[in-house]
């Protein structure tokens, strides 16, 4: 039987910019994406810790090393710059998988990897 499992999590990311009039998506620093195994175009669930909003969008690769997490399009209305977010990607599998997780500080620097 197939189940849906968490495969990747960016925990405590900080929203750095919002672009309302842009194709809808979340733009994430390419280095952060690689650390947890999130691909460009992949669907993610985003949880805003400041206001409890939850939304699904897709990922756009951001500039490597920029430490930016930007919300674009309609998603930009669901958070403010400086809000802390959790970004999660899932996989469909027959057996559980061990999720790759990174925890970030307020500057979106990695402080812990799991």
CA distances from 44 to 1, 37 (A): 23, 12
- Tell me if residue 58 is catalytic: yes
Element (H, E) at 30: helix 30-36
Give the active site residue among 5, 22, 58, 66: 58
Would you say the C-alpha torsion 60, 110, 45, 5 has a positive or negative sign?
positive
Contact 25, 72 (CB under 8 A): yes
Q: For residue 30, what are the contacts with CB-CB under 8 A and spacing of at least 6? A: 61, 62, 63, 64
- Tell me if residue 25 is catalytic: yes
Enter the DSSP assignment of 76: G
Give the active site residue among 22, 25, 39, 66: 25
Catalytic residues: 25, 58
């Amino acid at each position: 039987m197939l189940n849906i499992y968490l495969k990747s999590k960016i925990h405590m990311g900080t929203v750095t910019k919002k672009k309302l009039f842009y194709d809808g998506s979340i733009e994430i620093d390419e280095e952060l994406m690689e650390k947890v195994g999130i691909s460009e175009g992949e669907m993610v669930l985003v949880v805003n810790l400041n206001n409890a909003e939850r939304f699904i969008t897709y990922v756009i690769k951001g500039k490597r090393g920029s430490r930016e997490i930007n919300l674009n399009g309609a998603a930009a209305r669901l958070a403010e710059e400086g809000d802390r977010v959790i970004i999660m990607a899932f996989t469909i599998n027959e057996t559980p998988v061990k999720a790759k997780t990174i925890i970030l500080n307020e500057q979106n620097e990695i402080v812990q990897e799991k």
